Amino acid sequence: MEHTKERLVIKEKFEEMHKSIKQSFDELSRNNTSPKVKKELDNTVEEIKNNLSVNIELLNEILDVKATDEYLYNHSLNVAVVSNLIGRWIGLEQKDLDILILAGLVHDIGKLRIDPAILNKPGKLTDEEFTEMKKHPEYSYQMLMEMGYKDNAILKAVTFHHEKEDGSGYPLKISGDKITIHAKILAIADIFDAMTSNRVYKARVSPFKVLEMFQNQNFGKLDYSIIMTFVRKFTEYYVGSEVILSNNKKAKIVSLNTFELTKPLLVTTEGEFI
């Protein structure tokens, strides 16, 4: 029962933080970029920093199915948490982790200045709509400046989180070392959460399938060394965990092959290896 109790505690913390983010974002959507909103966001950063320890229950909460109409709030919280995890796993210092948590939390606030009809459109965006959508990192930058955030590392992480290693990203089409480490991590956390969440225009994808897609560079050029650390550390937490098979039988994950994540070795309750 310990796992269940731990999961409930994490769920409650996520709900509290979700409520706080929603409140802050509602203010921002009304163009209120006052110091009060900045303080609320900074408090949420402290909550994430001090109250969430890394375990399988935390990962399961990140991957839990959430309401699609509150995607922006859930996504912002998840990206902050996942970015923090990746930063820890690659050995960054606490000051860098603090940057990642805040940048993850606010990386998409610019979307609050985009027409909801474009933001929540269930079909494919037109070229004009996609051009507008691609402005959200710049809008986020402007809003952070208005709120009084001066730290260049945070501003760059937020502005560059859609840039790619080969220069094919946006808004500045920069490449390689010109993209900061924080932005590289944010890009991975952003895509991972977007792909594993239900959206108005597409169903969620299995996290192991997404990790496999990262390895195959299906999302364009991202930092491969960070991806491999993320894949290895994330999957470690799932060895020994219970899964339900397509025939409704229970089984445990015995091992995961880093290069064939969607084909784990399982053992059923009857002792049969699959």
3-class state of residue 251 by DSSP: strand
Neighbouring C-beta atoms of residue 16, cutoff 10 Å: 13
DSSP string, 32-92: ---HHHHHHHHHHHHHHHHH---SHHHHHHHTS---GGGHHHHHHHHHHHHHHHHHHHTT-
Give yes or no: 66 in active site.
Answer: no
Half-sphere exposure of 127 (CA within 13 A, CB side): 0
φ/ψ bin of 148: left (φ > 0), alpha (ψ from -120 to 50), beta (otherwise) = left
Phi, psi of 205 (to 5 degrees): -115, 145
Catalytic residue among 39, 49, 111, 121: 111
3-class state of residue 267 by DSSP: strand
CA-to-CA dists, residue 171 to 117, 131, 176, 205, angstroms: 22, 10, 15, 27
Q: Cβ distance 7 to 60 under 8 Å?
A: yes
Cβ neighbours of residue 39 under 8 Å, at least 6 residues apart?
Answer: none
**Measured between alpha carbons, how far is 92 from 207 in angstroms, rounded to an integer?**
24
Which residues have a catalytic role annotated?
A: 111
